[in-house]
Structure 1
Amino acid sequence: MSREQQLVELVATDGTASGSATVEDAHRAPGRLHRAFSVLLFDPDGRVLLQQRAAVKTRFALRWANACCGHPGPGEPVVVAAARRLDEELGVSASLEEVGVYLYQAADPDSGRVEFEYDHVLVGAYAGPVRPDPAEVAETDWVLPAELEERLRRFPDFYAPWLAGVLDAWRSSQR
């Protein structure tokens, strides 16, 4: 089954499950609010791992984003789904901790698809090689958070529209 035909969990704005839809249907304009996750991985030097999304991605292709993103299936624990996607996309494993939730909606000007997500932000530590799947990831880069914030300010269109909010959720958890 293609990723676009897999089921995602639809939710209310408070995160309460309200049904399911295919990935494709949930991302068709105007978008349907659904559960998602975004993973931030940090190395021992405090750098955050970025990935440039592969050209074949149906939403925000070739934009830089956090280590990985995805959708748990209906009823699937977010941490379990996130660990699976880390392995599938980057060939890594890490202990993950949820640090917040970020609700956002963004339309991809290139594909017309819409992200409307109740996004669980997960953080983990990782040291070791990254083995990206080229069908998922074009490139990776490790960058200090302050440098990333400057890049986001100067070149916002190079980055996935959720990245700034994901970083804000992480920063809020540090206070």
Structure 2
Amino acid sequence: MHCSFLIGPLIQSTMSEARPELLGYDQEQIKMMEEACILVDKEDNILGKDTKVNCHLGEGKLHRAFSVLLFNNSGKLLIQKRASEKITFPSIWANSCCSHPLHIDSEVNGIDGAKTAAKRKMEQELGIEPDEIKLEQLNYITKMVYKARADEKWVEHELDYIFAIKCDLDINPNIIEIEETKYVNLEELDSLFEDKKAEIGPWFKLIKENFLNDIWKALDNLGEIGDNKIHYMGNYE
């Protein structure tokens, strides 16, 4: 018992010492950067796996991600401001929940695996209890490939599965992950995007520019608007 208590901090310390680019960051965030992402080609064929830190460092490696758009029954979209402790894209506004399927048996199987990952992260980030949401409530919309730099060190290069759900859910945001949340209508979201002081995640900008209006119009039939396409967005500045 005493040994296991001491080993945890030692392992986390070793991670940051072994990876100097992680020095100074929150220990919980460092731990998550060692998770195994799913490497893919631009057709979404699995090529292997690598750590989250390697996938986001330098020029990055193309890997699977997901983005959830959670609407309440009044038709407002939940958005979040990422915590300042986040290693990539800290303190920026993003969609309801976004992260990565991991290279584990339950999350490698395409859409179903990405849904499983989304449910896991909605619990971890937003505090949504697992029995509050069923996988079939997550409506698959489409996929997009994009690349965007956070800064000279970190980058996103993702094949992003986009999901939408309309449901009233109780949330209890994890302060290590999320600084602020709010529900917005389209007009309020437009105002946020027009605010030059507001920093917006590039993937969220792409979703809004290319898909969000159609999703918002189809809130009562989200299961009917998905496609089998992969949208190639290129480098996003």
TM-score, normalized by the shorter chain, greater than 0.5 = yes
Larger of the two Rg values belongs to structure: 2
* Equivalent runs, 1:50-61 vs 2, <5 Å: 50-61=79-90
1:107: which partner in 2? 149
What residue identity is the alignment partner of 1:137?
Answer: I
What percentage of aligned pairs have identical amino acids? 30
Equivalent residue number for residue 91 of structure 1:
127
Aligned to 2:39: 10
Structure 2 CA distance, aligned partners of 1:145 and 1:11? 33
2:174 aligned to which of 121, 124, 133: 133
- Relative distance call for 1:149 and 1:156 in structure 2 (3 A) is farther
Shift of 1:152: 1.5
State the Cα deviation string for residues 143-167 of structure 1 (Å, max 9, x = none).
1123313422443851111102223
Aligned partner letter, 1:86: M
SS in 2 for 1:162: helix
Q: Amino acid of the residue matched to residue 139 of structure 1? A: E
1:64–1:40 Cα change, 3 Å: same
Q: Secondary structure in 2 aligned to 1:59?
A: coil
Partner residue, 1:151: 192
Larger proportion of strand: 1
Displacement of 1:55 = 0.8
2:60 paired with 1:31: yes
Cα distance per residue 1:125-151 (max 9 Å; x no partner): 231432001011111011112331342
Q: Deviations over 1:9-47 (max 9, x none)?
A: 111111111111100000011111100001000011111
Q: Distance in 2 between the 1:86 and 1:128 partners? A: 11
2:75/2:166 contact within 8 Å kept: no
Q: Which runs of 5+ in 1 are unaligned?
A: none
The answer to which structure has the higher helix fraction is 2
- SS of the aligned residue for 1:166 comes to helix
Q: Where does 1:69-80 land on structure 2 (aligned, <5 Å)?
A: 69-74=98-103, 75=108, 77-80=113-116
> Is the Cα–Cα contact under 8 Å of residues 107 and 115 in structure 1 kept in the other structure?
yes
Question: Once the 2 structures are TM-superposed, how far is the Cα of residue 97 of structure 1 from its aligned partner?
Answer: 1.2
One-letter code aligned to 2:91: L
Which deviates more from structure 2 when the two are superposed, residues 161-170 or residues 149-158? Answer: 149-158
Distance 2:158 2:211 in 1: 14
Contact in 2 for aligned 1:100/1:170 (Cα 8 Å)? no
Q: CA deviation at 1:91?
A: 1.3
Q: Tell me the number of residue pairs that the alignment of Structure 1 and Structure 2 aligns.
A: 174
Cα distance in 1, alignment partners of residues 57 and 186 from structure 2: 32
Could you report, residue by residue, the CA deviation over 1:102-127 in whole angstroms, capped at 9, with x for unpaired residues?
A: 21111112x72100000000111231
Partner of residue 45, structure 1: 74
Aligned to 2:51: 22
- Closer/same/farther in 2, CA of residues 158 and 59 from structure 1, 3 Å limit: same
Q: Please tell me whether the aligned partners of residues 192 and 198 of structure 2 are also in contact (alpha carbons under 8 angstroms).
A: no
TM-superposed deviation, 1:88: 0.7
